[in-house]
């Protein structure tokens, strides 16, 4: 598998891709991308990036970040998602899993609604079954069937926007589940059924 570069506080480091094999779970993100994929180089040539949808976020555990276009003209960019998958990997085990592109669509739409350009702070992206099971046993409020395990969920903050308001913006999208965690100061967003819950 080809190497790729990921941004960190100290510059760039080369990380070998460790995306898990397809299967039913891994296929969720690939199916979501469907035929709407394109090569970044072909779409982001001079004069063609005006319609690009861009996102930026930083993994609070690793310091790695992604900033750039993930979709152009309604077509997802596989090169971008290779980087996104790496940055949003399970930082405890190092496992990489395809993130559902719709999660990134939600992040983009919510940030547009909030009318800010600051990067998201990511607390949790993909979570391996092993990690999820451990956290659930420790009584941390983690669901045993968490959508983090299928790359369909993300926990974030957005500097400049209160987490309560962020949750309200996300709920207004009606694109999936939204959890507001007041004490821990983050918002959970996923591409599951439309629902809302608040936890102190």
Mean pLDDT of the 141-165 span: 94
Burial class (CB in 10 A: 0-12, 13-18, 19+), 54: middle
Q: What is the pTM of this model?
A: 0.79
The single residue listed with the structure tokens 């971008």 is 80
Q: How many percent of the chain have pLDDT more than 70?
A: 74
End-to-end CA distance of the chain: 44
What six digits make up the tokens of 57?
């976020």
Domain ranges of the chain: 3-199
Least confident of 109-113, 131-135, 151-155: 131-135
Reference 192, options 165, 153, 137; nearest CA is 153
Reference 51, options 30, 78, 70; nearest CA is 70
**Which pLDDT value is given to residue 109?**
97
| Tens digits of residue pLDDT in 41-98 | 444 444 455 589 999 999 999 999 999 999 999 999 999 999 999 999 999 999 999 9
């Amino acid at each position: 598998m080809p190497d790729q570069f990921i941004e960190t506080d100290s510059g760039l480091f080369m990380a070998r891709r460790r995306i898990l094999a397809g299967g039913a779970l891994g296929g969720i993100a690939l199916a979501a991308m469907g035929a709407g994929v394109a090569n970044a180089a072909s779409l982001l040539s001079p004069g063609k990036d005006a319609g690009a949808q861009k996102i930026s976020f930083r993994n609070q555990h690793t310091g790695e970040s992604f900033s750039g276009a993930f979709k152009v003209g309604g077509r997802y960019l596989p090169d971008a998602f290779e980087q996104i998958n790496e940055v949003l990997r399970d930082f405890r085990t190092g496992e990489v899993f395809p993130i559902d592109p719709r999660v990134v669509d939600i992040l983009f739409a919510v940030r547009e609604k909030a009318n800010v350009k600051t990067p998201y702070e990511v607390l949790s992206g993909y979570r391996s079954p092993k990690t999820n099971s451990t956290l659930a046993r420790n009584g941390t409020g983690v669901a045993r069937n968490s959508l983090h395990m299928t790359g369909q969920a993300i926990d974030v903050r957005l500097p400049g926007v209160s987490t309560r308001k962020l949750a309200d913006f996300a709920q207004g999208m009606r694109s999936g589940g939204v959890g507001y965690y007041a004490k821990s100061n983050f918002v959970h967003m996923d591409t599951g059924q439309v629902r809302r819950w608040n936890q102190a």
